[in-house]
Structure 1
Amino acid sequence: MFKGLGGIGDMAKMMKAAQEMQTKMAELQETLARTVVVGEAGAGLVKARCTAKGEITGLEIDPSILVPSEKEVVEDLIVAALADAQAKAAAKGQQEMARLTEGLGLPPDFKLPF
């Protein structure tokens, strides 16, 4: 009469696992927001800091390169440092996501949205 009720327990397990994953994802988001990576350009003359979520939080420029005639070089170094910081942030985010999902049996290259 109630043959299909065995699936309710499985559904409850799936819902609990989904809630646990949601909690872990929220914790990961907080961790990524607190994790800072530093990108560099020009052998460290320009450094950009950003969170592992990709939010730029700071920029350091060595005063020795602040010469008006070198304006374009400085601009290029800033862009390169920002790109480096964002690439490192993305890599850190992927690394943390892989660590979180490794027990789920998902393929290694499976991408979950942030």
Structure 2
Amino acid sequence: MLKGLGAMGDMAKMMKAAKEMQAKMGELQERLETITVTGEAGAGLVRVTATAKGELKALEIDPSLFKPEEKEVVEDLILAAVKDALARAQAKGAEEMQALVGELGLPADFKLPF
């Protein structure tokens, strides 16, 4: 269809590819909002759930931790679980981004702006 247009045909192909990539990035951003990961600390006594975009969704604390003398321990476990959940969210987001890069036929080391 665009044969014989030279650079114009190449530009049209590039624009089409850019639009396709933009649409797929939008889909990925929506999907990252629905993917959840759970971080935990203290062998599961504290659990935090977050989306792959890093939005915290839930916090679960085992009732056995509710002792006044354990306050600092609980605070440390909550912090550790939050950090674990956010690290898992970031890893999952990167994994999904790499899948998109592969799907688009881009080089594996290509970095998208998100």
Q: What is the TM-score with the length of structure 2 in the denominator?
A: 0.91
Inter-partner Cα distance in structure 2 for 1:86 and 1:93: 10
Inter-partner Cα distance in structure 1 for 2:63 and 2:27: 39
Inter-partner Cα distance in structure 1 for 2:112 and 2:87: 18
Unaligned segments of structure 1, at least 5 residues? none
Question: 1:104 Cα shift?
Answer: 2.9
- Tell me how large the CA RMSD over aligned residues is: 1.4
Match of 1:67 in 2: 67
SS at match of 1:104: coil
Letter aligned with residue 66 of structure 1: F
Inter-partner Cα distance in structure 2 for 1:66 and 1:90: 30
Match of 1:44 in 2: 44
Question: How many pairs were matched up?
Answer: 110
Inter-partner Cα distance in structure 2 for 1:30 and 1:74: 34
Question: 1:105 Cα shift?
Answer: 3.0
Match of 1:24 in 2: 24
Unaligned segments of structure 2, at least 5 residues? none
More helix per residue: 1 or 2?
A: 1
Letter aligned with residue 96 of structure 2: E
The share of aligned pairs that are identical, in percent, is: 64
